[in-house]
Structure 1
Amino acid sequence: MLDLNVVALCLCTREAVASMQEHGTDDGHIIHMNSISGHLVYPFLRNHLYSITKHMVTAHTEAVRQALRKGNTNIKISAISPGMVATDFGFRSGMRKEESEKMIQERACLQPEDVTESVIHILSRPPHVQIHDLIMRPTKEKH
């Protein structure tokens, strides 16, 4: 989980910035897919490591933003931090399929399209506006 959520993200971000600078792209935009878990800690023992990695993504996004500003570039970096999205993530992370499907139904989760629309919103802002972290959650999410 650490390799995927943190190490891979850091390496991809580093390479994206380097590629933009190498090609003279001064108006690029990097978007990190974070999580609401990068801003709070859920009271479920099996989620602690996930929350830790997502807090690292939150810190890394801010560190890169500061480095880009110090480097006097117009490259932007943003993060999207959704709450529960109706995907098979719970099932793939070890939940029983029935348990995952029940949770999605009960929580009236965000839809993948909601996240897609937020990416479009971030990318469509004028050059002087950088949305740093967009936190979104289902209306009925309790945590």
Structure 2
Amino acid sequence: MERWQNRVAVVTGASSGIGAACVKYLANNGMVVVGLARRKERIDALKDQVEPSARDRVHAIKCDLQDEQQIIAAFKEIESKYGPVAVLVNNAGIVRGTNLVDENNSLDIRAVINTNVLGVADCTREAFRSMKVSGDGHVFIINSIAGHSVPRIPNTSLNIYPPSKHAVTAMTEIYRQEFFNLNTKVKVTSISPGAVDTEIISEEMKVNIENAPFLKGEDVADALLYCLQTPPHVQIHELTIKPVGEMF
């Protein structure tokens, strides 16, 4: 992690689950970490969960990733207060349990697309402004196994969540090509976990996959650190992580 010491990492959806774990792991390993989320107070509380020497490296900005103007303002604030962005963790994601064919579900569908797809596009565009100046950086997309095949969960529809994750799978390759074409050494990595025990999985869904194994947010954060520590000439494009015995 030597090359990333005291450089700025931005983590979206940082108030819980995978995002909160990434904030703690990155701060404990020497990075200045800015968490973005609607529940800013939860990110502030993470300062008490990191090593004492890392507490001053954890910062929080309230930001709704469904609002492009809030994203633009947040990244301007980050660059002004903390410096250029070196690492971006596109973690924020939501799922809605309604059916695609249900009436009056348009708000659910748009919320998922705006967060899971457009939020990634907006945040990556804003972070890349810093990265293209320095010539290096690392963009992470916390994807899902649902971004590669559609899991079948009994009595459950994942609505437009799998299509949104298939979109970021394609975006990962587009970013790889663009970063190269623009003569940078910026890396992009998609991390696709199986089931993770976070708030995104509703209690109803847990009942439908009763006794299924789950990953922890820390498992994904640990994998992210591994990818971040690869040499400059090595890029892990896709990393899939599943709990042992997963049914999907």
Task: Give TM class, smaller chain.
Answer: 0.7 to 0.9
| TM-score, scaled relative to structure 2 | 0.51
**Counterpart position of 1:74:** 185
Partners of 1:101 and 1:142 lie apart in 2 by 14
Q: Does 1:127 align with 2:127?
A: no
What are the residue-to-residue correspondences of 1:110-125 with 2, within 5 Å? 110-125=215-230
How large is the RMSD of aligned CA atoms in angstroms?
A: 1.7
What are the residue-to-residue correspondences of 1:1-143 with 2, within 5 Å? 1-21=112-132, 24-44=133-153, 46-91=157-202, 95-96=203-204, 100=206, 103=209, 106-143=211-248
More strand, by proportion:
2
Tell me how far 1:14 sits from its aligned partner: 1.0
| TM-score, scaled relative to structure 1 | 0.87
1:35 corresponds to which letter in structure 2? S
Segments ≥4 residues shifted beyond 3 Å: none
Tell me how far 1:48 sits from its aligned partner: 4.2
More helix, by proportion:
1
Identity of aligned residues (%): 39
| Residues 27-72 of structure 1: per-residue CA shift (max 9 Å, x gap) | 2101111111001012356114110000000001110101111112
Partners of 2:142 and 2:129 lie apart in 1 by 20
Larger Rg: 2
Q: Which has the higher contact order (CA 8 A, sep 6+)?
A: 1
Unaligned runs of 5+ in 1: none
The alignment covers a number of residue pairs equal to 135
Task: Kindly indicate whether the alpha-carbon contact (under 8 Å) linking 1:30 and 1:78 is maintained by their aligned counterparts in 2.
Answer: yes
Partners of 1:107 and 1:42 lie apart in 2 by 13
Partners of 1:100 and 1:116 lie apart in 2 by 22
